[in-house]
Amino acid sequence: MYLKSLVLVAFLSGCSAWYGDRNPQGNSDMSQVAEGGQDLAQAAVDGGADLALDNTPPTVSLAVTPMHVTAAGNLSFVATVSSAHAITEVKLFGSGVAIGTLDAPAYSATSPITAADNGVAHFMVTATDELGNVGSSASVTVTVEIGTTPTSSVSFVAADSPVRVNTGTAVALATPAGIQANDFLIAFVDVQETSANNSVTAPNGWTLLGGYPIHNGAHSPYIIPATENQGTWVYYKFAGASEPSPATFMLGTTGETRAAMIAYRGVKLAAPIHDKAGFGYYGEDASQNFTAGNTTLATGLEVDIVDTAQTDRATFTVTPNEPWLSERLNTGESADGLNLIVQDQPISFNVYLGPSIQNMQSPANITDEFDFTATTLVLAEQ
């Protein structure tokens, strides 16, 4: 843009001199032409000044796949850049050090990764436009655990026998066998809300997880039929020296309910839940990978809880997305699609992934919907 302005000014200056040679006496017409040329020249300069004042940096984002590496292979980097001006360079940084550029127009690159790279790396990109403005992406954390198995001092103790209440307002959950004082108890209560949102009242000592209950169907534009509206409550507490059994949870109105209680040992007494994520889904997707995230906890245990909602037939499966994931509870999907599943896995290098949920309808995307709520808890260890 600057070059065009400079060329335009030089051209207009040359025109003025040429007309002067042909008209040594000058005339008003030529003066007007000269004045017009000066106006155009000034406009070009002003335009260049306006251009120089545009200091809006490019908007940049970076996607890196995979974010959790457990086998040797390649990392893929793709940057998305938006700018009002031409982009002259997109530069990739790894842990603060420039490691290469991403070529236009896709702004993508790949890099081999091996066990020698085990650990955590933070990647970002910068994009520079033709005016020198620089925009930066957010940092993306990649965890490499090739040939390693994460460990945690948090251990699974037991799960009680799941309860299904077809009618009524009382849900009694037995305390899991073999628990000790300070074991961490998690109770999840899933209510089929056939006419309106229900409510749950927990026994003394239980705390409702922040952000709950989750109601499925958070995704517009789907409209939830009343018969498919479920709510999931997640409660927790530390076991006392003598824990009463059962723990009875009360519903505000009669509703079909499924519930279970599980216990873990070695959980930190202060702030036991280090991180969490919750998701309610209603749609027709063939598959759904639920959540992925990072936590500042170096090691701990991830607990994934999935409640599938009522449909016309059994349609769901929850599949391992890590080799070290253990299934602790699976009620087995009923003919109407209802199921409760609990899986857990140790985390290390600050990563949790959540469960992989698949719609097993055949053919996929048929009219009975893909319906569930899912919860991921990251338990801090003592």
**CATH number of residue 128's parent domain:** 2.60.40.10
Which token pair is 274? 């280090």
Tens digit of each residue's pLDDT (9 = 90 or more) over 295-340: 888 899 999 999 887 666 667 788 887 888 999 999 887 777 778 9
Count H helices, E strands: the chain?
A: 2, 29
Single-letter residue type at 292: A
Mean pLDDT over the full length of the chain: 80
166 neighbors 253 (Cβ within 8 angstroms): no
Which residues, at least 6 apart from 297, have a Cβ–Cβ distance to it below 8 Å? Answer: 274, 275, 347, 350, 378, 380
- pLDDT over 90 for what percent of the chain? 44
Question: Where is the domain boundary, 109, 144, 179?
Answer: 144
pLDDT at 311: 67
> How many distinct structural domains can be found in the chain?
3
User: Which helix H or strand E contains 4, and what residues bound it?
Assistant: helix 2-22
The candidate with the shortest Cα–Cα distance to 373, out of 213, 221, 257, is 213
- The C-alpha angle with vertex 243 and arms to 240 and 244, in degrees rounded to 5, equals 145
SS3 33: helix
By C-alpha distance, which of 259, 133, 278, 135 is closest to 198?
A: 259
Distance CA 297, CA 154 (A): 13
Does position 285 have pLDDT exceeding 80, yes or no?
no
Which of 186 and 40 is assigned the larger pLDDT? 186
C-alpha distance across the termini of the chain, in Å = 62
pLDDT in tens, 199-239: 899 999 999 999 999 886 544 455 566 666 778 999 999 99
With beta carbons less than 8 A apart as the criterion, state whether 44 and 8 touch.
yes
CA Rg value for the chain:
31
What is the phi/psi pair of residue 39, to 5°?
Answer: -60, -45
Record the tokens describing residue 8, joined without a space.
Answer: 């335009």
User: Which residue would you say has higher pLDDT here, 97 or 365?
Assistant: 97
The better pLDDT of the pair 363, 317 is held by 317
Let me know whether 89 and 207 are in one domain: no
Determine the average pLDDT of the residues in 155-182.
93
Q: Which two structure tokens, joined as six digits, stand for 147?
A: 């040939």
The answer to the question of residue 44 being in a domain is yes
- 116 shares a domain with 16: no
Q: Which residue has the higher pLDDT, 83 or 313?
A: 83
Position 244 in a domain? yes
What per-residue confidence (pLDDT) applies to 114?
A: 93
Does one domain contain both 224 and 265? yes
Judge contact between 222 and 274, C-beta under 8 A.
no
Residue 163 falls inside a structural domain: yes
Say if residues 344 and 306 touch (Cβ distance below 8 Å): no
- Pairwise CA distance, residues 230 & 213, whole Å: 10
69 and 16 housed in the same domain: no
Length of the chain equals 382
With a pLDDT cut of 70, the percent of the chain lying above it is 76
Would 90 be classed as within a structural domain?
yes
Q: How far is CA 179 from CA 155, 237, 344, in A?
A: 12, 13, 18
Q: Measured between alpha carbons, how far is 102 from 98 in angstroms, rounded to an integer?
A: 11
Q: Tell me the sheet residues that pair with 134.
A: 128
Q: Are residues 277 and 172 in the same domain?
A: yes
> How confident is residue 255, by pLDDT bands cut at 50, 70 and 90?
confident
What are residue 123's phi and psi, to 5 degrees?
A: -115, 150
| Residue 188 domain-assigned (yes or no) | yes
Q: Does 309 reside within a domain?
A: yes
Compare 108 and 19 and report the one with higher pLDDT. 108
Residue 16 maps to a domain: yes
Which run of H or of E encompasses 30? helix 28-53
Is 149 inside any structural domain? Answer: no
> What confidence category does residue 21 fall into, taking pLDDT thresholds of 50, 70 and 90?
very low
Please give the structure tokens belonging to residue 282.
Answer: 């209603």
The residue among 306 and 36 whose pLDDT is bigger is: 306
Q: Are residues 228 and 174 in the same domain?
A: yes
pLDDT of residue 61: 92
Look up the domain containing 30 and give its range. Answer: 2-49
Burial class (CB in 10 A: 0-12, 13-18, 19+), 242: exposed
Residue 221, classed as helix, strand or coil, is: coil
Q: Is 362 helix (H, G, I), strand (E, B) or coil?
A: coil
Do residue 304 and residue 281 come from a single domain?
yes
Whether 368 has a pLDDT exceeding 70, the answer reads: no
CA 360 remoteness from chain centre: 24
Question: Domain ends where: 144, 179, 214?
Answer: 144
The CB density around residue 348, as the number of other CB atoms within 10 Å, is 17
* Domain finish residue from 84, 118, 144: 144
One domain for residues 140 and 108? yes
Q: Whole-prediction pTM value?
A: 0.71
Same domain, yes or no: 197 and 163:
yes
* Residue 27 and residue 140 share a domain: no
Mean pLDDT of all residues in 167-183: 94
Query: Average pLDDT for residues 184-202, to the nearest whole number?
Result: 87
Question: Are residue 241 and residue 343 in the same domain, yes or no?
Answer: yes
Amino acid letter, residue 272: P
Whole-number pLDDT of residue 380: 97
**Cα separation values, 154 from 136, 223, 254, 274, 335, Å:** 39, 40, 37, 13, 35
Structure token pair of residue 183: 């074991």
Instruction: Answer with the residue of higher pLDDT: 373 or 217.
Output: 373
Report the C-alpha gap between 302 and 307 in whole angstroms. Answer: 17
- Residues 312, 181: one domain? yes
